Amino acid sequence: MSTTTTPVVAFDDAITRYDPVMGLEVHVELNTATKMFCGCPTAFGAEPNTQVCPVCLGLPGALPVVNAKAVESAIRIGLALNCEIAEWCRFARKNYFYPDMPKNFQTSQYDEPIAFDGWIDVQVPAEDGGEPEVFRIEIERAHMEEDTGKSLHVGGATGRIHGADHSLLDYNRAGIPLIEIVTRTIHVPAEKAPAVARAYVTQLRELMLALDVSDARMDQGSLRADVNLSLTPKGSDVLGTRSETKNVNSFRSVERAVRYEVGRHAGILDAGGSVVQETRHFHEADGSTSAGREKSDAEDYRYFPEPDLAPVAPSREWVEQLRGTLPEPPAERRQRLQAEWGFSDLDMRDTVGAGALELVVETVEAGATPAAAKKWWLGELARRANEQGTDLAALPVTPQQVAGVQALIDDGRVNDKLARQVLDGVLAGEGTPEEVVAARGLEVVSDDGALGAAVDRAIEANPDVAQKIRDGKVQAAGALIGSVMKEMRGQADAARVRELVLEKLS
Amino acid sequence: MSDLIRLTASEIADRLATGDVTSVEVTQAHLDRIEAVDDQVHAFLHVGRDSALATAADVDARRAAGEQLPTLAGVPVAVKDLINTTDQPTTAGSRILEGWRPPYDATVVARLRAAGLPILGKTNLDEFAMGSSNEHSAYGPTRNPWDTDRIPGGSSGGSAAAVAAHEAPLALGTDTGGSIRQPGAMTGIVGVKPTYGGVSRYGVVAMASSLDQVGPMGRSVLDAALLHEVVAGHDPMDSTSIDAPVPAVVEAARRGDVQGLRVGVVRELGGEGFQPGVRAAFDRAVELLAQAGAEVVEVSCPSFEHGIAAYYLVMPSEVSSNLARFDAMRYGLRVAPEGLTDPSAEQVMAASRDAGFGDEVKRRIVLGTYALSSGYYDAYYGSAQKVRTLVARDFAAAFEQVDVLVSPTAPTTAWRLGEKSDDPLAMYLEDVCTIPANLAGVPGLNLPVGLADDTGLPVGVQFLAPAQADDRLYNAAAALERLVDAPQLSADALEGAR
Amino acid sequence: MSSALSREDVAHLANLARISLSEDELDRLGAELPAILDHVAAVQGVVDAAGDVEPMSHPVPVANVFREDVVRPGLTPDEALSGAPASEEQRFLVPKILGEE
Ligand SMILES: [Mg+2]
Ligand SMILES: [Zn+2]
């Protein structure tokens, strides 16, 4: 923590003197049924050590066998990122000791990645609401590897690694297939860097979902971004020392991590110091980063070709067949969706900018109208995500549930106000919209018996108003309706109440 | 001593089939033999008495019920303690795995069980199969039944000694640089390293993944072939396993016909540095092959001379990575570092690996770590892998001219315990003849051909064949086996010593 | 290439290999390894003399050995933890971890 005393410079100030040089490494956990090298299931959240076998526990004598589906997904990701697909490549062992890695080497790829030399165009929304700006991010490589287990640090005050008495290891995640996607160095106008980083990760996630190769849930770690950043003084071409901010777990945090690191590096450089090459941890609470492991030259992974696995040599026929399964390119898809949905340019930009495109797609697929889907995700739900400082996708509600809430409205079973309460219940983990309606008793009353009695009571209590309506002043009905709604605590079918009032007083 | 232990595996199989004897009787006879002589030989680290007898009784019952059983059903076998067994500990000859019980069987063990072979026990070995003498076992050395002051070879020295001493008619060993063939030569038994990928490695504690291979050991060529057939064949759990039919090894072992067979004597594997008694026994064997109708020619494989150098780079490199998993976190020995009250995981790992591994293992791990480290990789590991290509090219060229190659299996007969312990390099040079086959992945077989004139100890001849032509080894060796007078150890020798 | 290997080099390698070698062991390996390295270093000369040679990483020339993406039964938690030096809450218990990856 040698740099804590140096003040962090404001981002806008920092970029008057320095240009950021960024690189992004994203790890995507594939949604295969089984792990990369063994037949263990990959379900998230299972009881500890229930999805393990000799292979993923690294028991003596165990040997890996490659999951064909994982290779297929890797190739499709590579193709979707406009990469070359290797005609012949191998796995390699990356040797280092860490207790969450059972073999004490990670089976990965080294100088022979399955996909390389690609690109993706990302759209950054213009701040003035104008045309979004497009930046081409070059992809250096996408390679296959395996995830590690999870450690629980026990005894420390915060549950973090420091101060813990001991650690508890669960290897359910060990061996889950990962695709690591590495960009080339990203050079963009300094002020755009944070937004470009965010847009890249956002669009990468959209792509993974469109390919259906990953759940791509940043909150569950199935899509994890590392931000590598260094600064170059303006007008210079001297490369600075870089930091690697690990496992940033929301789009918003990617943007914030870039802003913070730019300011932190600038502070150190302004003071004449030198940046330490190290990994850093991002803190959601205040958007800061703190020092992790120092990267020294002594680090030596001793890569060598994995002798227990045969090389991977995808035939060109297979590659072309997989190319045929690719979803339409994101830009074309957005145009098509915009036309299908009847969205204005602004509607579409807002939707994409909010990271809600896939959510709206799925909500529409689940039966909601595009307008209703957009209303929920960009309105009520966006507000709640913002309150919680999280991404829309991380909210504990599925597009299917949102469509379910809308269906309740469309069927007249709840009104807008009740619908928001149903959503509260869903977000609180009380179950499906139907279950919440039942448990909380939120359904509107449209039963004529109950409503008729309430209308009668309202007429009796407001004889003057009733007389006005009898005299033809239909607009006065609002007061009686209000009275009924109040008595029924908002759970009355307002349209039916109005009909009953008019019937009784005509 | 029971006559049953003098029988070969095929003879036992015949007598079991006719109902002459039961598997329980045969298994009990071998357990008695182990009881009687193993305190002198120390071939076994664990004897699975009850489970072996249970398997035997089961086979007997099934046979009595008229069930059609595999050829070797009921014939007991010993298994090198590098191969996982759920019902017996698997230690790899190391303190770091003392008492470890694998929760899964190796594929070869599952195949032994499916074929009804009672598993007598787990045999001693150099720690993690690293050694040529069995002196590197953490549990004390196995001794050569021919002379218990001498080494039985290694690393499958326990399996070899058990078979030679009539403690088991059959055994499984593993061969990374000669670990089946060389102890076979030292103890006067048949041992085969199959083609790389011919037998599954799943569940076999890995030493060097690209070199390791499991193989059969027995007192006759046919016995080895019968066991070979039980354990060989494709295994989807091993990505390097060959997905092709197993060569017809049993048929070849029964044929034994070298008429017109082209036999190449490898010029580089003999001559200077080889013990005179070994050279003489080898020359006699080659003469016998020629007399039996083989066309004997000399062939040159110049890259074989560099085999040891390449091997002692590739093997330790893979060792350094394969043995990283022994870290005291999930299984195996965990020791607290001295003088620390609250040690970290990292410190416990380092202390446990220091306490749990023996000197030879540590030497190879450090050597391999060096060979793989950045800046040295190309010069060492990379160059060694290219030498493998050169060795494979020499084999390919040789097999254009001849059907099989022959050489002595080892340059010397068995040496005295402790004789080479102080000089690791001298010990490494013992593997000069056997290593090329591992580097290229081709099969090799040791056949005992008699006793050396100078030391009176067993000498072996090595046969080598192209990949997936394991049957050629069995055919040629079976022919020579009939022609040589290779004395078997008198079982009374060890009994008398008691 | 010179195979001079200092005592510090050996200590560094032992650290990479996570083995806390004693002073005696460092001395002994420092003495033994150079002789072994001198012998094995011969491979470079051999390769230089041979010209263009592909390295052999696998003795069997196969590729594309794949497994279908189908779940296979694994180990029960009890089996998985059966060899563990220590466990707690169905997890492997290990001493505090210092470094972070
Ligand atoms: Mg990686
Ligand atoms: Zn598994």
Residue of C nearest to B318 (CA): C57
Q: Is A168 helix (H, G, I), strand (E, B) or coil?
A: strand
Kindly state the DSSP code that residue B311 receives in the 8-state scheme. Answer: H
Question: What is d(CA A339, CA B360) in angstroms, rounded to the nearest whole number?
Answer: 72
Q: Select the residue from A30, A37, A49 to test the C interface by mutation, using most C Cβ atoms within 10 A.
A: A49
Range name among A226-240, A440-454, B368-382, C28-42 with the lowest pLDDT average: A440-454
pLDDT interval class at B496 (50, 70, 90): low
Interface of C with A in 70-89 (CB under 8 A): 70-77, 80-81, 88-89
Q: Is B71 helix (H, G, I), strand (E, B) or coil?
A: coil
Range name among A147-161, A296-310, B133-147, C85-99 with the lowest pLDDT average: A147-161
Contacts of B342 in chain C (CB under 8 A): 96
Q: How many secondary structure helices (H) and strands (E) does chain B include?
A: 17, 11
The pLDDT assigned to A162 comes to 61
State the distance from the centre of ligand 1 to the C-alpha of A105, rounded, in angstroms: 12
Most confident of A144-158, A420-434, B108-122: B108-122
Q: Is C56 helix (H, G, I), strand (E, B) or coil?
A: coil
Question: What is d(CA B23, CA B12) in angstroms, rounded to the nearest whole number?
Answer: 9
Cβ within 8 Å, pair C18-A307? no
Residue A4 has pLDDT above 60, yes or no: no
Residue A293 dihedral angles phi and psi, to the nearest 5°:
-90, 135
Which residues does A482 contact at the CB level (< 8 Å), separation at least 6?
A: none
Question: Of the candidates C67, C80, C88, which has its C-beta nearest A68's C-beta?
Answer: C67
Q: Select the residue from B325, B365, B380 to test the A interface by mutation, using most A Cβ atoms within 10 A.
A: B325
CA A239-A243-A248 angle, to 5 degrees, is 135
Tokens 């195979």 belong to residue: C3
pLDDT interval class at C3 (50, 70, 90): low
Nearest to B156 by CA among B185, B123, B188, B193: B123
Which structure tokens are listed for C7?
């005592």
Q: Does A51 touch chain C (CB under 8 A)?
A: yes
Instruction: Convert the pLDDT of each residue in A428-474 to its tens digit.
Output: 989 999 898 888 878 777 777 778 888 888 888 888 888 888 888 88
Nearest to B137 by CA among B145, B127, B147: B127
Q: Is A152 helix (H, G, I), strand (E, B) or coil?
A: strand
Rounded to the nearest angstrom, the minimum Cα separation between A168 and chain C is: 5
The pLDDT assigned to A24 comes to 98
Residue of A nearest to B201 (CA): A61
* Mean pLDDT of chain B, nearest integer: 96
Mean pLDDT, range A413-435, rounded to an integer: 88
Which structure tokens are listed for B88?
């017996």
The pLDDT assigned to B447 comes to 98
Kindly state the DSSP code that residue B421 receives in the 8-state scheme. Answer: T
Question: What is d(CA B160, CA A260) in angstroms, rounded to the nearest whole number?
Answer: 67
Q: Are strands A115-124 and A133-146 parallel, antiparallel or unpaired?
A: antiparallel
The pLDDT assigned to A2 comes to 44
Range name among A184-188, A443-447, B276-280 with the lowest pLDDT average: A443-447
**DSSP element (H, E) containing B401:** helix B383-401
Question: Of the candidates A102, A302, A309, which has its C-beta nearest B330's C-beta?
Answer: A102
Mean pLDDT, range B373-400, rounded to an integer: 95
Contacts of B304 in chain C (CB under 8 A): none
Cβ within 8 Å, pair C77-A47? yes
pLDDT interval class at A161 (50, 70, 90): low
Contacts of B382 in chain C (CB under 8 A): 55
pLDDT interval class at A304 (50, 70, 90): very high
Cβ within 8 Å, pair A102-B325? yes
Cβ within 8 Å, pair C40-B380? yes
Question: What is d(CA A266, CA A271) in angstroms, rounded to the nearest whole number?
Answer: 8
pLDDT interval class at B497 (50, 70, 90): very low
The pLDDT assigned to B126 comes to 98
Instruction: Convert the pLDDT of each residue in A326-369 to its tens digit.
Output: 998 777 888 899 999 999 988 998 898 888 998 999 999 999 99
State the distance from the centre of ligand 1 to the C-alpha of B264, rounded, in angstroms: 49
Range name among A297-311, A482-496, B391-405 with the lowest pLDDT average: A482-496
Question: Of the candidates B236, B346, B381, which has its C-beta nearest A304's C-beta?
Answer: B381
Question: What is d(CA B347, CA B329) in angstroms, rounded to the nearest whole number?
Answer: 12
Q: Select the residue from B243, B327, B346, B366 to test the A interface by mutation, using most A Cβ atoms within 10 A.
A: B327
| A136-171 residues labelled b (16+ CB within 10 A) or e (exposed) | ebebbbbbbbbbbbbbebbeeeeeebeebebbbbbb
Question: Of the candidates A34, A161, A300, which has its C-beta nearest C69's C-beta?
Answer: A34
CB A140 within 8 A of CB A116: yes
User: Looking at chain C, which subunits does it touch, using at least 3 CB pairs closer than 8 Å as the criterion?
Assistant: A, B
Cβ within 8 Å, pair B441-C20? no
State the distance from the centre of ligand 1 to the C-alpha of B274, rounded, in angstroms: 50
Give B119's strand partners.
B77
pLDDT interval class at A160 (50, 70, 90): low
Q: Select the residue from A88, A168, A224, A306 to test the C interface by mutation, using most C Cβ atoms within 10 A.
A: A168
| Ligand number, closest to the Cα atom of B237 | 2
Which structure tokens are listed for B271?
């001559």
Query: The dihedral of CA C27, C28, C31, C32: what is its sign?
Result: negative
Number of Cβ atoms within 10 Å of the Cβ of B411: 21
Question: What is d(CA C16, CA C31) in angstroms, rounded to the nearest whole number?
Answer: 19
Question: What is d(CA B283, CA B406) in angstroms, rounded to the nearest whole number?
Answer: 11
pLDDT interval class at C4 (50, 70, 90): low
CB A178 within 8 A of CB A42: no
Question: Of the candidates A54, A62, A103, which has its C-beta nearest B324's C-beta?
Answer: A103
Cβ within 8 Å, pair C64-A313? yes
pLDDT interval class at C1 (50, 70, 90): very low
Please give the residue that has the higher pLDDT: either B272 or A91: A91
Kindly state the DSSP code that residue B333 receives in the 8-state scheme. Answer: -
Kindly state the DSSP code that residue B423 receives in the 8-state scheme. Answer: -
* Amino acid in position A392: L
Range name among A141-145, A474-478, B274-278, B359-363 with the lowest pLDDT average: A474-478
pLDDT interval class at C101 (50, 70, 90): very low
CB B369 within 8 A of CB A96: no
User: Looking at chain B, which subunits does it touch, using at least 3 CB pairs closer than 8 Å as the criterion?
Assistant: A, C
Catalytic residues of B: 80, 155, 179
Q: Is A146 helix (H, G, I), strand (E, B) or coil?
A: strand
Rounded to the nearest angstrom, the minimum Cα separation between A271 and chain C is: 29
The DSSP line for A449-506 is: HHHHHHHHHHHHH-HHHHHHHHTT-GGGHHHHHHHHHHHTTT-B-HHHHHHHHHHHT-
Please give the residue that has the higher pLDDT: either A323 or A388: A323
Model's pTM, two decimal places? 0.87
Rounded to the nearest angstrom, the minimum Cα separation between A189 and chain B is: 37
Helical segments of A291-344, H only: 316-323, 330-341
State the distance from the centre of ligand 1 to the C-alpha of C4, rounded, in angstroms: 34
State the distance from the centre of ligand 2 to the C-alpha of A171, rounded, in angstroms: 9
Interface of B with A in 352-411 (CB under 8 A): 369, 372-374, 377, 381
